[in-house]
Every structure is written in C-alpha cells, then in structure tokens.
Amino acid sequence: MRAGAACRAGRPNTGEASEGVGSEIFRELARMVATLAEVQGLRSFALPYPGLAQRALDRTVMHCLDVGETPPRSLPELWEWCRTRPAGDPLFAVPASLVTPGATLVHPVGRMPTRSCLEVASHGPDGGVAAHAHALLGELEARCGTDERYQQCRRFLARHPVVHQRDRFGLGWSKAVWSRVKDLYGPLPESLLVDGDFLGCPSCGLPALSRDGTVPVPGPSATDADIWCEGEECPRDAPPELIREPDQARILRRSLRTFLALPHRTEEVALDALDRAGIDHEALSGPLSAYRLRDTGPEIVDIQVYDRLQPALLAAHLTDSAPPADRTLVVVPNALAGRNCYREAFADALPALLRKRLVLTTPVDLVPDLNGPG
C-alpha cells in the first residue's frame, strides 16, 4: 500500500494529464529527432535546416523567450538540449504522469533517438513512428495474400533486424520470403557505422555504437557506460557483434526494429508459455503483436505484446486503439513490469472503464493472470 500510494502521489486518476506549451514542444522535438535521424542522422546539419527542424527550433526559441531563458542558437545546440534536458526539465515540464521525468530524446552515448523519444513521437492522432510500422506491416500482409505467408514474413522481420549477404546461403533461408520483405530493408546508414564497421548488440540484434566512436576491445572495458544499443536495456555480458563489410548487409526500417523486432523476444516467451499450458491462440491483424485465445468460454480474450519504456504512453495507445476483446492481457518484459511504479503508472493512465479490461502482465505471469478472475 505504501509503495502504491507513493507512486500515485500527485498522479491524476482520470487517465489524462494536463499538458502545457513545454510538453507540446517536447513532443514536437521528439517527432523532429525521430524524422531527421532517418534522413541524415544526428551528427551534423547544414543550413538551410529542414522545415521540420526549423519550425521546432523557432518554437523552442519563442518559448525560451517567453519564460525568460536563453534560447538555443542553432540546431546543433538544440540537439545537445535533447541529449541533456529531460522531460522533467522546467523548460518542458512534461507531467510525470505522462513521461518519466528523466527521459531524454537523444541518447547521451549513442547520440541517436532514445526509445522514449520514439514512444513520445508516436503519441498523438497520427500515431507517428509506431503507426509507420503498422502501415508497413499492413502493406506486407496485403502483398502476401494468405495469413500463412504473412506470418512467415513477419517472423523473418522480427528475427532479422540485420541481414548479411552470407545469410542467404544458410540453412532455412527462403527466397520466397526474402522477395516479399526485401523492400523493408535498406543499406546500413553511415550514422550507424563505427570506424567503417557495424556493431550489433548480441542480445537484441539491433545496432550498437560506442561512446568514443571506435570499435570496442572485448573485455570488461565494454561497459554499460561505453556502449549503446537501440534496445537500451540489454546486458553487456558479451562484446558487440562486428560486421566488417557493411556494404554487404541490409538493415530493417527503424520503426519495425523498434516496434516489431524489439518486443519479439517477449512475444516468443509469452507464446511458449501458452503452448506449454495447452492454450490455443491465433494471430490477429491490426496491432503489431496480438493474438486471440481460443476456448475461453463466453469471454473474448486477447493478448498484446509490447516493449515500451513509458507505461502511461502505452496506456494512452491502448486507450486510443480501443481493444475489442472483453479482456486483453498486455504482456511486457519482466524487467519493465518490475520497475518501481511501472504497473501503477500504466493503471493510472487508463480510463476507469478500461482498467478491468486491460491487464498488465509478463510472460511469467501470463497464464496465472489468464486463469485468474476476469
């Protein structure tokens, strides 16, 4: 009770948080960072700035002048603000009930968009980066023609955020699958190369970068503080994987890396738990990782799998998408659900009418929660 009360201190119970001009600017900056990182990376910008960036810079300058703070003088300086000024900075004052106060938009080591940045950029009517991933999968599903072909292609994308030329000669390679998904891959961008090589996280398979811009030496020196990967939460008990011929590799679109490939490990563990319990399920179109459970009696029960750092934004996404089932179990990684206040923040951000219909759980607790009271 004490922990729950502490988490809820100052947190509204309506599922909504009041947002001011600073919050709006923080969201606009998130969209800018996410968009420009796709175009040219975050390392250098030349005048004239892209329109999206110039508008965000202008709004930030005006806001600083309104509140009596010295404004950024250029886009590179604004980028440094995105790296060092978190959501809770007085300039932004994003409600803690919406985004964790320490969240920044640019990672201090990788100098690339943070996961929180992409989640903030996906919050709003257009759905941002997450909606882009959804649209790409929708187009793929239409091309595949059958659900079986689509699920094969979806699994390939989730398991292969990076594809090397040599992979095509390995066991299990399907020319048919590759022909349907290859347009969702592109060349490795220069912004993700280190000394001309590509580093891949051994845990999540997503791109990695070193703090000093050099290929890390294997061993204890490659610590959390020295290495960044797009997954951000991965252990550093093994050195990054190295691709010395980056021109021979292709990388999955960023939106699919973040919102499909990243939660796939959690999805596979959750589905294994259902299979061991003898619970049948079928994949659903629509959400990126969603399944309907069979033989649940008169009640319609779905599961949806996510790996989101911001629980309130996850709740807002689920509220907007209005899950049609009587009960939806929202599965997130064990480590996230175990964080201080994560569950409470998720529940508090839901409208009261949805709190019994949307149940936050983990792969470990999925079957017990499924069999618990509805």
pLDDT in tens, the chain (374 residues): 344 555 655 454 444 444 689 999 999 999 999 988 887 554 456 667 788 889 999 999 999 999 999 999 999 899 999 999 999 999 999 999 999 999 999 999 888 999 999 999 999 888 899 999 999 999 999 999 999 999 999 999 999 999 999 988 888 899 999 999 999 999 999 889 988 899 999 889 999 998 877 777 655 545 556 789 999 988 877 788 889 889 999 999 999 999 999 999 999 999 999 999 999 999 998 778 999 999 888 899 999 999 999 999 999 999 988 777 999 999 999 999 999 899 999 999 999 999 999 999 999 999 999 987 55
The answer for residues whose C-beta is within 8 angstroms of residue 366's C-beta and 6 or more apart is: 270, 273, 274, 303, 329, 331
Amino acid at 363: P
φ, ψ of residue 233 to 5 degrees: the values are -100, 5
For residue 371, count other CB atoms closer than 10 A to its CB: 10
Task: Give Dmax (Cα) for the chain.
Answer: 63
**The pLDDT value given to residue 287:** 74
Yes or no: say if 363 and 277 are a contact pair by the CB < 8 Å rule: no
Task: Look at residue 351 in the predicted model and tell me its pLDDT.
Answer: 94
Cα 248 to Cα 198, 209, 253, 346: the distances in Å are 11, 19, 17, 42
Distance CA 101, CA 80 (A): 17
pLDDT of residue 373: 59
- C-alpha 158/C-alpha 141 separation (Å) is 14
Prior bond to 48 cis, omega within 30?
yes
